[in-house]
Structure 1
Amino acid sequence: MPAPTRQPSTIRSMLDPELLEHITARRAELDEREEQLARQLAEVRAE
């Protein structure tokens, strides 16, 4: 009978609530920066 498989530590880490909160906050920062860059690009293209 094969040994039970264990989740890799990376997957266990990704399920950590504190890490998920950090990822969510960082994603929000990146989304905001993306919007800023899109606006700047539109301004440059309009010049």
Structure 2
Amino acid sequence: MISLGAIVATQAATSWPGKTVVMGIAALGIVVAALGRLIQDRKIRQVANG
């Protein structure tokens, strides 16, 4: 079963404005994930250092 999100993303990607938006959201997601990981690492180090 294909997820609704994938269908919407594919539809949006066929139009240029939609493609830009999808790429922007994807980039934002990657940045947020990276920041979240960094913050998590710092918290773990703080706990480890006590």
The alignment's TM-score, normalised by the length of structure 2, stands at: 0.61
Between the two structures, name the one with larger relative contact order (CA 8 Å, sep ≥ 6): 2
Tell me the distance in 1 between the aligned counterparts of 2:27 and 2:12.
20
- CA RMSD of the aligned region, Å? 1.8
Which has more helix, going by share of residues? Answer: 2
Match of 1:21 in 2: 20
Q: What secondary structure is seen at the aligned counterpart in 2 of 1:36? A: helix
**Alignment partner, residue 40 of structure 2:** 41
The runs of 4+ residues in structure 1 deviating greater than 2 Å are: 10-14
Structure 1 pair 12/23, CA: closer, same or farther in 2 (3 Å)?
closer
Q: Which runs of 5+ in 1 are unaligned?
A: 1-9
Structure 2 alignment gaps of length 5 or more: 1-7
Structure number with greater Rg is 1
TM-score, L = length of structure 1: 0.64
